[in-house]
Amino acid sequence: MFYSLTGKVAHTEPGIAVIDVGGVAFKCATSMGTLRTLRLGETATLFTHLNVREDALDLFGFATQPELNCFKLLTAISGVGPKVGIAILSEMAPEEVALAAAAGDTKRFCRANGVGPKLAQRIVLELKDKVMNFSTGALGEGFVEPGGPSASGNAAQAVEALTTLGYSPTDAAQAVGRLDSALPVEELIRLALKGFASK
């Protein structure tokens, strides 16, 4: 229903950001990572997700599209509700979530409130498939240009991880294509994200 909200930051508190859009204030549940980017009285854009329940409409807002996409991935996992999704994203940035899942690091997820060992294992199991499994040809024939990442191997897995985080397949392939495809998947993702951040 809402793709994003752009307006002045009217109020913040732990887990909550209020954005005033033309005199209408929207209360968004959000992560600590997003809250750190907001300044009272300044204009901000939050990418949003409306969670519809029988007794309530809850609006969630995030500073970046990758963070919103990561939230949606997390909350699609059985046992991970919106509160737990926010708790995880308050502990880890989206790229850290992807790296922890790829590395099978359940302890990182256990740092978030509401995540025990069993739930952490389920998160890693389900996210690892989405972040790491990449079948040859999934990007389409002729998608990868010469000098870009191969259709299999570490580079392809890194491209898939980046697209899962919300980057376009073209941007992800170009970012990874500039790197040494012999590097470990985690390193390729880290360096590509660093490249995006520096733009």
Q: Digits of tens for pLDDT over the chain (199 positions)? A: 688 999 999 999 999 999 999 999 999 999 999 999 999 999 999 999 998 888 888 999 999 988 998 899 899 999 999 999 999 999 998 878 887 887 788 999 999 999 999 999 999 988 876 765 433 233 333 333 333 434 347 888 888 888 877 788 888 888 888 888 788 888 888 888 878 776 6
The pLDDT of residue 199 is 62
CB 115 within 8 A of CB 87: yes
The pLDDT of residue 183 is 85
Cα gap 18→135, rounded to integer Å: 42
Kindly give the interhelix angle for 169-177 and 185-198, rounded to the nearest 10 degrees.
110
C-alpha distances in Å from residue 166, one per residue of 64, 67, 169: 9, 8, 9
Q: ∠39-41-45 over CA atoms, to 5°?
A: 65
The pLDDT of residue 6 is 95
Cα-Cα-Cα-Cα torsion 27, 196, 128, 111, nearest 10 degrees, comes to -50
Fill in the amino acid letter for 69: N
Distance of CA 185 to the CA centre of its chain: 17
Helices (DSSP H) in the chain: which residue ranges? 32-35, 65-75, 82-91, 94-103, 106-110, 117-132, 154-164, 169-177, 185-198
